[in-house]
Structure 1
Amino acid sequence: MMSKQAKIYTFGFNMVCRKFMRNNIACVFKEIADTKRTYLAQWYLDTPAIIPSDTYARWNRLQRLLYKAIWYYVGHFGEFEQIFPIPDVARRVVDICRPYPYRIGTYRPDFLIDRSGQIKICEIGARFPLNGYFMSGISEYIGTCNYPYVSYLERPEYERFLHYLFDYWGRFERLCVLKSADKPCDIKYYTPFFEALGIPVHVLSPEQIKPSSPELANCAVVNELNQYDMERLDDETLHAIAASNALNDMRTIFLIHDKRFLAVLSDAHFQSQCLEEDDIAFLRPYLIPTYTRLQNPELWHDARRQKDGWVLKHALLGKSEQVYVGCTCSEEEWEGVFASPLIEAMVLQPFIRQQRLDSTIGEHIYSDFVVGTLLCFDDCFLGPGIFRTSSFEVTNRVDDRKMAACFTDNYSGFADRFIL
């Protein structure tokens, strides 16, 4: 029965069946969320992040400006190689994609909260396209269950995401996941979700992907490959992926996930090419100035000598890998990065003094830094994603807790620092 329902939705026979399938999608997601909620909730702070309507509206505008900037950059990246030079191995992949229509897909700006309460985008995740989306839906569900005393605004973002995801793919008969050795976090949530809807799921390693792979035909593709996986594929296989119904487009992965795009995004000339003056003024407070090795050699020299004011990040990696916060590094470690060939793969950002949130989980007291995520899908803002908290300035390094988001304009009784 489930398989027939899934097929009715994907081929859109009539609006009644489509509405039924949309309701079924929401029900199946809630069933899966229920199986995870009790286990995951033990790491959630007792106080949620409060998202008032005016904050949501500002973030919605921020997403629209990022969409414009991304779209412009992908079409004009060659004009900005004095900031972000495209390596030959990446250029080969991007060039193979040129004949195919471009869709941005998903992108996730991660942000810090500075001591004034301003959010600052520290990176944009565009690899592993469903990471954070399913988990954020579960987090949203945890929030509605854990904080029944909050007067909620009706904003079921996870349902909007699920509907947008199916609309993005359109007609498909099965799901094909292209999976590398990396472990995308949300795969353990979305594969049982699709299977519960009666949609077959096939997982292919890089070695199993062939130009004639039947799994790529008439299916929705989740491209979980990292850049190194794709660079090793032959041209014919890359063409097959580019021509498939894939999320994300390889151009998004190679050009936007790379932290050197943040240096382009911070550049005044680039901003003037794709945004209006009032939009630029709105965007700038959200950005952390980012520099590649081709920019400001004097700044890089100063950062080498004065580590406490700077952060080094590997341009391609995620999950806080090879992130060096100067004030937490020894002189030897900091100098070792600058003295090694690794420095050429780094971007430089000023260190942002972050706000701490004091909260509890049961009887345990924590004073944590917070990293939030904005969930974006093409030109659609899907609300804030999961909030991660940690006693260390870089999450995932020492400890890792979570904070649910609550949408409400009735936030009396909450400390100001929890109101974003």
Structure 2
Amino acid sequence: MTAALQTARTPTILVGVDLGTPNFDSELEELGLLAESAAMEPVARVTCKRRAPDAALFIGSGKADEIKLLATQLGAKEVLFDQSLSPGQQRNLERHLELPVNDRTFLILEIFAQRARSHEGKLQVELARLQYLSTRLVRRWSHLERQSGGIGMRGGPGEAQIELDRRMIGDTIKRTKERLAKVKKQRQTQRRQRERRDAFNISLIGYTNAGKSTLFNALVKARAYAADQLFATLDTTTRQLYLGEAGRSVSLSDTVGFIRDLPHGLVDAFQATLQEAIDADLLLHVVDAANPRFAEQILQVQSVLKEIGADGIPQLLVFNKIDALDAEHQPLKLEDQFEIDGVQTPRIFVSARDATGLPALRKRLADIARVPSSDENPVELSPASPGDDR
């Protein structure tokens, strides 16, 4: 990293509150990775436990005073929360800490805004950001605060400005939704064309940074952008994958990665992109086998799939990055099964980086996508022979 890039990073304090929810990230590891992806430099990580968020400051005045002192000592220029803040809590915290305060939702939106490349992706990000901003208008900034008027007057210039901003954002949201609707119609037309060609559609899904784009490139020899960072790619890319043993080509799509607590606004705004997963015949669920939290990440992906109506589509688990596992954690066999929500799901271990397991993956895909002859039954996606989970 160059010195210029280092100085451009914003010193930031990360804050997480354990509200008793399962799988609380006490090290704020993922928030730190997200912050680094957005050109922030975490200089401290603060966690605390509460039964419920403080209505005014989310963390309470005592912890807020502690963070303010820490920020002064470390020269922090921003505070970032791992949970979503209400507009009022954000405003109160900024006044108390005398620093910009943002939350996980805003951070993810910023990363999406930086990474979106296609026309559709940019529209989706714009819509999500506008919807988020619309909830932050009321008394969010001091220059919009209501000013007192004389006898017989109602409100003042500040209140009028809020109404103007709200109306402007509302109009922009409406126009953006209309433009996205047109893009969605275009995608539907493209899907109907694929259906007429009797195409078999496969979507790569998985937690962000699981290696989907690297696997996509390895399978179809494409040059989709891939990097060891969260949300390296946001736009759906579709290519044809020829499977010799099946005697046919299939349509393979690389989709946006999922993440814990994905903002609902983003799920709604990215509906057109995620439609590729909804309409797929098979989901290749890519998992980072080297991540100690892979089981939690699988459940997060399953949660989003259920939210978008894609939980009933057959899945094939692809445990990627086995090249990063030490010797004692290497799989005993490259194909076995793994239980998800009480259902045994077939699993294949691969390394997209060094091509380990890719021939077995191609053969498995060929078996699934093979067009059956008139005297045989279609190949069903059934678990491989029982074996150890790891």
TM-score by length of 2: 0.28
Question: Could you say which structure has the greater relative contact order, defined with CA pairs below 8 angstroms and 6 or more residues apart?
Answer: 1
The structure with the larger Rg is 2
